[in-house]
Amino acid sequence: MTLIEVKNVSKQFGGLAALTDVSFVLNKGEILGLIGPNGAGKTTMFNIVNGFYPPTKGDVFLKGQRVSHLKPHTLCKLGVARTFQVVRPLQRMTTLDNVITSAFIRTKSKSHAEEIAIEILKFTGLYDDRMVISKGLPLGKRKRLEIARALATHPEILLLDESFAGLNPTEINDQIQIVKKIRTEKEITILIIEHHMKVIMSISDRIVVLNYGQKIAEGTPAEIGHNPIVIEAYLGEEHSA
């Protein structure tokens, strides 16, 4: 079943074409990787799917409903949650309060929100840090807090924007386990942007490659790994021969 369909989306910032005619679909239950060199338009794509920007041309559909004109908070209610590339915790709140805040989207009562938050914190392994002011968490945990916060909104689709960048090898392995668990235990569909090739190759079911705002390839990790156009985009022409 198709959850999100991105149809011929273009986005221009003044004269700069950040995305040109990009289309792809996100199916229920899969992990779809979105990769591409710096400046390829990955985060712009996220911002469009998430509702921060309206597309200049084209549309985004969520379960067949056109959502490209909706605001982020409405999309969040419809089940699309995201994390940010540059972590943005609610700095002067504790880890627990951060997660409680996002749990309030599905409940009015504080005790229920707290219940949800504690469950999520245990799930992401942040329970022991629940009383820490989030500004004081190390980067690895702040990245995980981003995921925890998104999970607390009970999403159907999770958009992860470089949740692995800047982590050490141990943290990366922990994070991979969490992402896999999110799919298997919570049955959440994931769209993920990642630069770390080992990670993206090992967790994605399919990969979409962007370069200069255009989709240049789509396929399974194995196909993408052998695609000459992709190798060219990443390594330059001479290496592809």
Partner 1 sequence: MKKFLPLIIFAILCFVPFVGLSTYVMHILILVLMWSVIGMAWNVLGGYTGQVSFGHAAFFGFGAYTGGILYQHLGISAWWGLPACVVILTALSLVIGYICLRLRGAYFALATLALGEVCRVAAENLVEFTQGNMGIMLRERTWVDKTWYFYVILIIAASTYMLIKLVMESKLGYYFVAIREDQDAAESLGINTTFYKTISLCLSGVLTGVAGAFYMNYMGYIDPATVFPLSEVSIAVVMVVMVGGAATFWGPIVGALIMVFLAEVIRSLPHIGAAHQTIFGIILILIIMFLPNGVVGDFGKLIKPFVGRRTSS
Contacts to partner 1 by CB under 8 A: 50, 52, 71-74, 76-77, 81-82, 84, 88-93, 97, 100-102, 104-105, 108, 110, 113, 149-150, 153
**127 CB-near residues (< 8 Å, 6+ apart):** 118, 121
**Shortest Cβ distance from residue 108 to partner 1 (Å)?**
6
**Shortest Cβ distance from residue 76 to partner 1 (Å)?**
3
3-state secondary structure of 220: coil
Quickly tell me which residue has 């800047």 as its tokens.
166
**Shortest Cβ distance from residue 23 to partner 1 (Å)?**
24
**166 CB-near residues (< 8 Å, 6+ apart):** 139, 143
CB 188 within 8 A of CB 160: no
State which residue, 55 or 155, has the beta carbon closest to partner 1. Answer: 155
Pairing of strands 157-161, 189-193: parallel
State which residue, 20 or 189, has the beta carbon closest to partner 1. Answer: 189
What percent of the chain is helix, strand and coil (3-state, nearest 5)? Answer: 45, 25, 30
State which residue, 16 or 86, has the beta carbon closest to partner 1. Answer: 86
Q: What is the DSSP string of 15-71?
A: TEEEEEEEEEEEETT-EEEEE-STTSSHHHHHHHHTTSS--SEEEEEETTEE-TTS-
How far from 157 is each of 124, 151, 152, CA to CA, in Å?
17, 10, 12
State which residue, 9 or 80, has the beta carbon closest to partner 1. Answer: 80
**Shortest Cβ distance from residue 82 to partner 1 (Å)?**
5
**Shortest Cβ distance from residue 214 to partner 1 (Å)?**
26
State which residue, 98 or 204, has the beta carbon closest to partner 1. Answer: 98
**10 CB-near residues (< 8 Å, 6+ apart):** 17, 19, 20, 21, 22, 55, 56, 57, 58
**Shortest Cβ distance from residue 146 to partner 1 (Å)?**
9
State which residue, 139 or 222, has the beta carbon closest to partner 1. Answer: 139
**Shortest Cβ distance from residue 231 to partner 1 (Å)?**
34
